[in-house]
Structure 1
Amino acid sequence: MPSQRPLLQKLISIIEPVLEADGYELVDLRFILEQGGWILRVCVDRPPDPSLDVGEVPPDRVDLSDCETVSRQLSAVLDVDDPIAQAYSLEVSSPGIDRPLRTAKHFTHFAGSDAKITMAVPLVIPDAPERRNFRGVLRGLNAEGDQVAIDVDGQRFELPLVDIDSAKLVPDWDAVMRGKSGAGGKTPKPVKPGHRPSQKKRTSNPSGGAQGAGGPNDSND
C-alpha cells in the first residue's frame, strides 16, 4: 500500500542488515490488519545461488528452526528501534513454491519463470484501459534496471519496479511433482516409451470422407 511505504522502508532498513549478517535475505515484508490485529509478516530465505539452475530445489532451504531463530533476533531488534506505534504480532516464514519477488535481483534471477505481478499504480497503456494485473513470463530488467519486463500473451510490458505492489512466481506443478522447484518456466512432458505421434497425413475428399496419403483408391481402373 502506498500509504505504508515510509513505514515499510523503515522496517526494511532495520531488518535487512540483521538477516544479511546471518546469511539470510529478506524475500518479502507485509504489515497487515487482520481480524486478530496487526501482523508483521517477514518472509526469509537463503540468497539465491547464481550457479544453481532456478528449476532445481536449493539444498539449503530455510526450515522451521531458521524461522524461529530469525524471529527471536528480529523481536529483539524491533523492541529496541520500536518503529511500529500500534501493538502487533511478528510472523516469520520461508517462501513457498509460489515465491514472492521483491527486489531487482529477484526479477533478474528468476527471468524465464512464470509470474504474477500486481501494480500499486496502474500501468497506463496507449489506446487501452489502465492495467494493474499481469501474468506471464518474466524477462528480467531493462538496461536501466528500473523496469521489470514481462511477456503476457505475446505482448511485452515494462513495469516500473517502484510501482509494483506484489509479485510472485507461478509454479509449474508438473515440475514440482517431479521433485523440481517449479520455477524456470514449463518444461515439455516426457514422451512415454514406445509412443510417438501419428505420422499419417489426412486430407479431405469430395465425398466428405477422409483419405490417406495414397488417395481414395490405390488401384488402377
Structure 2
Amino acid sequence: MADIAELTALIEPEVKALGFDLVRVKLFGSGDEHTLQIMAERPDTKQLVIEDCAAISRRLSDVLDEVDPIEEAYRLEVSSPGIDRPLTRLHDFMEWAGHEAKVSTTEIVAGRKSFRGSLRGVEGDDIQFHDNKAGDVAIPFALVGDAKLILTDALISASMPLSSDGADEFETEE
C-alpha cells in the first residue's frame, strides 16, 4: 500500500489550488478492491456540493495518473466529510467545540483509550474534552487514533445545507 503522508503531500496542494481544504486522505481495501478516499471542504461553509467533488476528482485523476503513486488498482472517491465528520486536524477540535464526539486514542490517556462526550476546545497540542464517564480530560492530539462528531440535533442545526431550494419540491407522474 502507498504511504498516506506521501499521498497527502501530493494531494493537498491540488485541493488547495482549487480553493478547498483537505480533511482526510484514506486508502483502504484488500485484494483487488482498493479505494482512495479524499474528504475536502470549502473553508467558509465546511461543505461541498457535487460540482466541487467533480472538480477535485478531475484534477486529482490527472495528477494521480501522471505520478502513479499507488501500485494497486483503486477507485478514487471524493466527498464532503458529512455531518458526523471525522476530526482529523487539531483545529477541527476547536471549530467544533461544544459538540459531542467520540475519540479513540492509540495509548491510554487518563486510564482509558475510548472517550465519548463534549469537545471543549484546544490548549496547545491537547484536546480539551469532557468525557461522559471520566469527566474533564486533556487528550494529546498526537495520541488521537480516530475521532468523529456524533450526530445530534445541535450538530444538524450547525450544519445546515448550503441551499434548501427545491428540497420540498417534487414531481409526480399523473
Pick the structure with greater CA Rg: 1
Question: Within 2, Cα distance between the matches of 1:175 and 1:78?
Answer: 35
Secondary structure of the residue that 2:15 maps to in structure 1? helix
CA contact (8 A) 2:41 2:47 kept: yes
CA contact (8 A) 1:123 1:159 kept: no
Question: Within 1, Cα distance between the matches of 2:148 and 2:35?
Answer: 20
Question: Within 2, Cα distance between the matches of 1:132 and 1:138?
Answer: 16
User: Residue 79 of structure 1: which of 46, 51, 65 is its match?
Assistant: 65
User: Residue 41 of structure 2: which of 45, 48, 51 is its match?
Assistant: 45
Q: Does 1:137 align with 2:123?
A: no
Q: Kindly tell me: are residues 175 and 92 of structure 1, through their superposed partners in 2, closer, same or farther at Cα, counting changes over 3 Å?
A: closer
Question: Within 2, Cα distance between the matches of 1:136 and 1:82?
Answer: 41
One-letter amino acid of the structure 2 residue matched with residue 107 of structure 1: F
Mapping for residues 104-119 of structure 1, pairs under 5 Å: 104-119=90-105
Q: Kindly tell me: are residues 63 and 157 of structure 1, through their superposed partners in 2, closer, same or farther at Cα, counting changes over 3 Å?
A: same
Q: Kindly tell me: are residues 79 and 163 of structure 1, through their superposed partners in 2, closer, same or farther at Cα, counting changes over 3 Å?
A: farther
One-letter amino acid of the structure 2 residue matched with residue 172 of structure 1: T
CA contact (8 A) 2:109 2:139 kept: no
How far the C-alpha of 1:171 sits from its partner, in A, is 2.6
Equivalenced residue count is 159
Superposed CA deviations along residues 51-85 of structure 1, whole A, max 9, x for unmatched, are: xxxxxxx4x83111111111111111122222222
Superposed CA deviations along residues 7-59 of structure 1, whole A, max 9, x for unmatched, are: 11111111111111111111122111157611111111111x4xxxxxxxx4x
Question: Within 2, Cα distance between the matches of 1:138 and 1:175?
Answer: 12
CA contact (8 A) 2:103 2:115 kept: yes
User: Residue 107 of structure 2: which of 110, 118, 122 is its match?
Assistant: 122
CA contact (8 A) 1:173 1:182 kept: no
One-letter amino acid of the structure 2 residue matched with residue 69 of structure 1: A
User: Residue 12 of structure 1: which of 8, 29, 37 is its match?
Assistant: 8
Question: Within 2, Cα distance between the matches of 1:28 and 1:147?
Answer: 20
Question: Within 1, Cα distance between the matches of 2:99 and 2:47?
Answer: 19
Structure 1, unmatched stretches of 5+, are: 50-57, 184-221
Q: How big is the alpha-carbon RMSD for the aligned residues of Structure 1 and Structure 2?
A: 2.4
From the two aligned structures, give the one with the greater strand fraction.
Answer: 2
Question: Within 1, Cα distance between the matches of 2:159 and 2:51?
Answer: 24
Question: Within 2, Cα distance between the matches of 1:91 and 1:149?
Answer: 32
Structure 2, unmatched stretches of 5+, are: 161-174
- TM-score, reference length from structure 1: 0.64
2:135 matched residue in structure 1: 155
How far the C-alpha of 1:182 sits from its partner, in A, is 5.5
CA contact (8 A) 1:172 1:182 kept: no
One-letter amino acid of the structure 1 residue matched with residue 130 of structure 2: D
